[in-house]
Amino acid sequence: MDKNKLIELGSKTAKDGFRNEDDVVRKFNNYQHDENAQSWLEIMGYKISEIEKIVALKLHGFKTDVQIQVTIYFKDAINLQNLSIKLVSNPQGFNQVDKRWVDKYVEMWDIPKEVEQIFSCF
């Protein structure tokens, strides 16, 4: 594939990915009527009947693409779920999830030294 075609494909893939993020936000904000969102919430461990409200936001400048704020009836707290939305862009279905250095994950998640050493091998 020539360079211009690759650039065009990369641009299309990026734009499709942003549209996918917008779709996910819209679906979660309309969870009462969206079967996909209800299914996702159940997979995430929520009971639809206990949800008081959901606010889904598209974040900018973070690895997380979408944040889901779930308010449950009779609870004093809001549960936050940060999602990284990935568009599968090839027939095998593989996509790079993240490409940070291991020390950044250690910093973010307080990963034990032995796990850090294992991750560093890859």
Q: What CATH number does residue 79 fall under?
A: 3.40.1350.40
What is the phi/psi pair of residue 17, to 5°? -65, -45
pLDDT at 33: 96
pTM over 0.75: no
Q: CA neighbours within 13 Å on the CB side: how many for 12?
A: 9
pLDDT at 93: 55
Q: Tell me, yes or no, whether 32 and 81 share the same domain.
A: yes
pLDDT at 36: 94
Give the number of domains in the chain: 2
Structural domain boundaries enclosing 42? 3-86
pLDDT at 95: 53
Q: Tell me, yes or no, whether 81 and 108 share the same domain.
A: no
Q: Tell me, yes or no, whether 59 and 98 share the same domain.
A: no
Low-confidence ranges of the chain (pLDDT < 70): 10, 13-14, 17, 61-64, 73-77, 85-99, 122
